Structure 1
Amino acid sequence: MDITIHTTVLPHEDPEASLSFYRDTLGFEVRSDVGQGKMRWITVGPAGQPTSILLAPPAADPGISEEERATIARMMAKGTYGWILLASRDLDGTFEKVRAGGGEVVQEPVEQPYGVRDCAFRDPAGNMVRIQEVA
C-alpha cells in the first residue's frame, strides 16, 4: 500500500490566536483559510512538507448534541481534547522561540524515561503540542 498522512485536525476557539501561534510562533505556512468569524477552517503546515494541520471549529458538526458540545468545551479547557507531536533538530532553540512567542509552557525540555527528549506547550485553544528532539 502507498498511504501517507495528509492532514490531522486540531480544534480552535479563536482562529486569530491559533493562526498567530501556528504561523507566527511555529513558522508554519497558511495553506487555506475558509469561513468567517469563529467558523473558520484554517490549514497550516511546515514549508516544504506535505502534511498539514486543519484548525477547525470543535463543534461545527450539526450532528453533535449540546451535551457533546459542553463535553468538548470542558476537555479543551483542560487541554485533553486535542494534541499533536512535532519534531525538531534543535529542541532548545525551538523551545525558546515558542516560549518567546507566548506559548504556554507545560514542560521544559527534558530527557524522558522512555528514551526521548521533548518539551510541551499548550496552543491558544488548549491543545497539547509536544515537540520531540530528533537527530
Structure 2
Amino acid sequence: MIDNRSIPTATVIPVLVYPDVRAAVGWLSEAFGFLERVRIGDDHRAQMRVGDDGGVIVADTHGEQQPPEAGCVTHLLKVRVADVDAAFERARAHGARVIQEPTEYEYGERECTLEDLAGHRWQLTQTMRDVAPEEWGGVTVEP
C-alpha cells in the first residue's frame, strides 16, 4: 500500500457522525486523549489519531449522515488502552455516560463501555493476560 499523509494509517477507519464536529473533537481529545491530526473545513470533518496506529474520522451531519438515536445502538467502537481504569475515570470525569463499569473477563480482557456526547458507544479494553480462545469456549480459525 502507498502511504498518504491525508488519511490515517489504520486498516479500518471508523467514520462517526456528530451534530457538532468541533465539540466532538474537543470532547474526544479531553475525555479519551485522542489527538486531532487533520481538520477539513471549519466544521465539516476531522481526523483523529488514536494510540500508536489507530484513527477515527469525525464527520458532520448532512443528507443521510445522522448521529446515533437514543435507545438504538447500531455500533460500538473498541479501543485498546494501557490502563482501562484510568481511561474510564478520565472519560467519566469529562461527562461520558457509563454503560458498564470496568470488568475483567475470562478471555483475558478488562473492559468498560461508555457513551460519548453524541451517543456513540465506546468499549475501552486492556489486555490482562494471554488466553487461548479454546479456554473460554471460542474456536481458533486458521486461514
Q: Same fold (TM over 0.5)?
A: yes
TM range (shorter): 0.7 to 0.9
2:47 corresponds to 1:43:
yes
Task: Say which of 93, 116, 125 aligns to 2:86.
Answer: 93
Question: Does the Cα contact within 8 Å between 1:10 and 1:82 map onto a contact in 2?
Answer: no
Task: Say which of 70, 79, 82 aligns to 1:77.
Answer: 70
2:25 corresponds to 1:19:
yes
- Residue in 1 aligned with 2:140? none
2:57 corresponds to 1:54:
yes
1:9 CA displacement? 1.0
Instruction: Give runs of ≥4 in structure 1 deviating > 6 Å.
Output: none
TM-score, normalised to structure 1, is 0.73
**C-alpha separation in 2, matches of 1:113 and 1:76:** 32
1:36/1:77 CA distance change after superposition, 3 Å: farther
1:84 CA displacement? 0.7
- Residue in 1 aligned with 2:13? 7
1:81 CA displacement? 3.3
Task: Say which of 110, 113, 130 aligns to 2:123.
Answer: 130
- Over aligned residues, Cα RMSD in angstroms? 2.8
1:106/1:55 CA distance change after superposition, 3 Å: same
**C-alpha separation in 1, matches of 2:82 and 2:37:** 24
**C-alpha separation in 1, matches of 2:106 and 2:53:** 31
Q: Secondary structure at the match of 2:70?
A: helix
Structure (1 or 2) with the greater helix fraction? 1
Structure 1 window deviating more from structure 2 (124-133 vs 26-35): it is 26-35
**C-alpha separation in 2, matches of 1:91 and 1:16:** 26
**C-alpha separation in 1, matches of 2:103 and 2:49:** 25
1:115 CA displacement? 4.7
Task: Show CA shifts across 1:40-78 (max 9, x none).
Answer: 21111135x2431001124x35xx4xxxx7xx55x5323
TM-score, normalised to structure 2, is 0.70
**C-alpha separation in 2, matches of 1:98 and 1:116:** 19
Identity %: 25
